[in-house]
Amino acid sequence: MKYLLLVLAMLATLALTGLIFYLLVKRYFDNQQKQQLLQMKLDERRETLRTVTPIRLQAYERMALFLERISPNSLVLRCYQPGMDLKLLQGVMTKNIRDEWEHNLSQQVYLSPELWASIREAKDEMINLVNSSAVSLTDTADPTRLAATIFASAADRSPVDSALDTMHNELKELFG
């Protein structure tokens, strides 16, 4: 009976030791597995960033180009042709802004919602600037007067400037 109790005590000790060993080994391997999964996620994130960052930078470049193309100086110089009347120049400028916008709509995927809203606002303000400048003139006015009115209205700060500032600040936060 004594031996039986001794054997049972040894078996209980051995079982308890085995259980503790099993739990420690299981915990170790679970932690190893979690670390491997975390490392795989980090590696995947790095690879995604390595792929997406150049695409995002291209989106910023394209939208900076868009903003420069719809700025008053660029827009007037690109759209004005000798022999145009005021209404034609107004129509060509607003169409040009809308066409540029539609051409770059997909870039919103890569930009922050705040920056996209700022760019959209600049586009809308430029269309309003062109239209309000045209409305302030008579239909028979020379189209160069439209250009002069647009330049005068945007002399202090073009609608594009605010969006470019927002873009520069966002780029500084992301990459600098």
The list of the chain residues with pLDDT below 50 reads none
Query: Which pLDDT score is estimated for 82?
Result: 92
- Whether 70 and 160 have beta carbons less than 8 Å apart is answered as yes
Q: How far apart are CA 107 and CA 103, in angstroms?
A: 9
Q: Helices 2-70 and 113-135, interaxial angle, to 10°?
A: 20
Q: How far apart are CA 6 and CA 175, in angstroms?
A: 70
pTM: 0.74
Query: Which pLDDT score is estimated for 76?
Result: 94
The amino acid at residue 97 is I
Query: Which pLDDT score is estimated for 98?
Result: 97
> Which value, to the nearest 10 degrees, does the dihedral of the CA atoms of residues 94, 100, 105, 106 take?
170
Query: Which pLDDT score is estimated for 115?
Result: 96
Query: Which pLDDT score is estimated for 171?
Result: 92
The amino acid at residue 158 is S
Q: How far apart are CA 139 and CA 85, in angstroms?
A: 8
Query: Which pLDDT score is estimated for 12?
Result: 87
Query: Which pLDDT score is estimated for 159?
Result: 85
pLDDT tens-digit map of 107-126: 999 999 999 999 999 999 99
Query: Which pLDDT score is estimated for 38?
Result: 87
Q: How far apart are CA 94 and CA 130, in angstroms?
A: 7
- Whether 52 and 159 have beta carbons less than 8 Å apart is answered as no
- Whether 146 and 134 have beta carbons less than 8 Å apart is answered as yes
Query: Which pLDDT score is estimated for 46?
Result: 82
Query: Which pLDDT score is estimated for 102?
Result: 96
